[in-house]
Amino acid sequence: MAQPTDVETTGRYLVLLEEDSVAAGMSAINRVAGIRTVSTADAAGASASDQFGAANGLMLHELGVAVVDAGPEQVSRLNRAAAEPGPISVVEPERVVHAIAVEASAPEAAAVDESTFTWGVQAVSANLSNATGAGIRVAVLDTGVDKTHPDLAGRTLVTSSFVNGEDVQDGHGHGTHCIGTSCGPRTPQTLPGYGIAHQAEIYAGKVLGNRGSGDDGGILAGISWAITNGCAVVSMSLGADVAPGTAYSQVYEQAAQRAMSRGTLIIAAAGNASDRHNGRIAPVGHPANCPSVMAVAAIDVRGGIAPFSSGTVDTIGQVDLAAPGVDVHSSWPMPTRYRRISGTSMATPHVSGVAALIAQQTGARGWELWAWLVQSAHRLPLPSTDVGAGLVQAP
Amino acid sequence: MDKVVVSVVDDKLDVLPKVVADLRRAGLVVDEVLEPLGVVTGSIEPDAIWSLETVPGVSGVERQRTVRLSPPTSPS
């Protein structure tokens, strides 16, 4: 359990369980260390922090990971159990994770004047383009949207939820942020302007629950909905990390090809699984690793690759384009109104917005739209394995 | 029951209802038939998944993955 000494930890521990061993793992943790865990699978609606207070461990059911409060003696017991055969696989101190935005952007604050437009709008030259996205339908498949956000007032906003038991109202914030970047306003009452395709028709499909996760069935249903509604662009700031060498999904690939043949281009986040400060580049995640899904990496305000941005590490998934994804200002559910966050999730809607602008100006759809996006991107002095064809550019 | 997604080959898309009926007979509890994609979603007993692959017109069967927002996108 060697850990670098400079890593900030919370005093809690993560217990990773073997595949499909959640129930056995919960009882093993109790038996070995006397720690009672409650499972996220049993408490729909309650937030993770609410649940943690009720016991001394929280089982993240979908991850097969328990977060536990453990003293030194309990930790050594858990470590002994991890070394032996059984449901407990790995024990690690829980790390404190900081928003990349805070670390990466503070010294750069003056590098770009954001008084009128965000750095992202300027980096993709959207502020210099006459195109607005008018008449183009953009589907954003995410955690939904805050329909009451004043910056979306008066816009065409069509919504549908593909999450059981949750309406489209965004209880998370991520979806509202992504919609803001791809389709939000250029001249909101409170500057800076942050939306790329600021007159596009917004189709907000909720495929991730308010806790930020969903399954393939809901996502494919969302893509199908977008095609049926004639959306030229589907923006998906979501993904599942994969191990190097993992085959891409044949089902998604075929679905993406069919979407293309119907004039719908799917754009997805490459993933945030890299740790480039420590020399680790993770492969493009699912479903961005499908050949017919456009995979988007994140760059920062200096044009450098974001440390978390997943990259091309094998011949299966490859990065196609890059876009601003560090310290991105956009809309957030009221009353917060705005937030700055980072991720390939934030880069993706920059590309989706530009795709809508190009679709409006050229009439291109599907593979032709893909070609326009790639051909017009600004090349960057970075490996194509990290940024593909480069920084996406508005027409 | 495991949740699965099933894709259908191009030349069976015009007889999709027939393929869906065969999938049901093979044990699939159908959630949705996504006609624009030629994809059927549903759930099935784990030990019957293989039988879906033998249904004429099926090009792929995959267990559904959980897809999520990953750090650093997640708000604190």
Q: Looking at this predicted complex, what is its ipTM?
A: 0.85
User: For residue A304, what is the DSSP state?
Assistant: P
Per-residue pLDDT band at A53 (split at 50, 70, 90): low
For chain A, percent of residues with pLDDT exceeding 90: 71
Which chain B residue is nearest to residue A208, measuring alpha carbons?
B68
Distance from CA of B45 to the nearest CA of A (A): 15
Region A290-309 average pLDDT: 97
**Which member of B36, B62, B67 has the closest CB to residue A238?**
B67
For chain A, percent of residues with pLDDT exceeding 70: 88
Tell me: pLDDT of A352 over 90: yes
Region A25-34 average pLDDT: 90
Q: Model pTM? A: 0.76
Tell me: pLDDT of A4 over 80: no
Model confidence over B1-57: pLDDT tens digits?
999 999 999 999 999 999 999 999 999 999 999 999 999 999 999 999 999 999 999
- Is A174's CB within 8 Å of B37's CB? no
Cβ contacts (< 8 Å) between A241 and chain B: which residues?
70
Size of interface A-B (CB pairs under 8 A): 137
Q: Where are the beta strands (DSSP E) in chain A?
A: 9-17, 37-39, 57-60, 65-69, 88-95, 137-142, 157-161, 201-206, 213-215, 233-236, 265-269, 294-299, 321-324, 328-332, 337-341
Best residue of B14, B28, B66, B70 to probe chain A, by most A CBs closer than 10 Å? B70
| B66-68/B58-63 β-pairing | unpaired
Looking at the DSSP bridge assignments, the partners of residue B67 are: A214
Model confidence over A119-154: pLDDT tens digits?
999 999 999 999 999 999 999 999 999 999 999 999
User: For residue A193, what is the DSSP state?
Assistant: B
Model confidence over A157-179: pLDDT tens digits?
999 999 999 999 999 999 999 99
Region B52-69 average pLDDT: 93
Distance from CA of A251 to the nearest CA of B (A): 6
pLDDT of residue A68: 82
Tell me: pLDDT of A5 over 90: no
Cβ contacts (< 8 Å) between B6 and chain A: which residues?
251
Per-residue pLDDT band at A46 (split at 50, 70, 90): very low
> With the CA atoms of A200, A203, A204 and A208 taken in that order, what torsion angle do they form, in degrees rounded to the nearest 10?
-120
Best residue of B4, B33, B37 to probe chain A, by most A CBs closer than 10 Å? B37
Q: Could you give the residue numbers annotated as active site of A?
A: 142, 174, 345
Cis peptide before A291 (omega within 30 of 0): no
Per-residue pLDDT band at B71 (split at 50, 70, 90): low
**Which member of B3, B34, B62 has the closest CB to residue A224?**
B34
Least confident of A83-92, A208-217, A244-253: A83-92
Tell me: pLDDT of A47 over 50: no
Angle at the Cα of B4 from the Cα atoms of A176 and A217, rounded to 5 degrees: 20
Looking at the DSSP bridge assignments, the partners of residue A246 are: none
User: For residue A61, what is the DSSP state?
Assistant: T
**Which member of B39, B41, B72 has the closest CB to residue A308?**
B72
Is A106 within 8 Å of A301 (Cβ atoms)? Answer: no
Distance from CA of A133 to the nearest CA of B (A): 24
**Which member of B37, B68, B69 has the closest CB to residue A220?**
B37
pLDDT of residue A61: 64
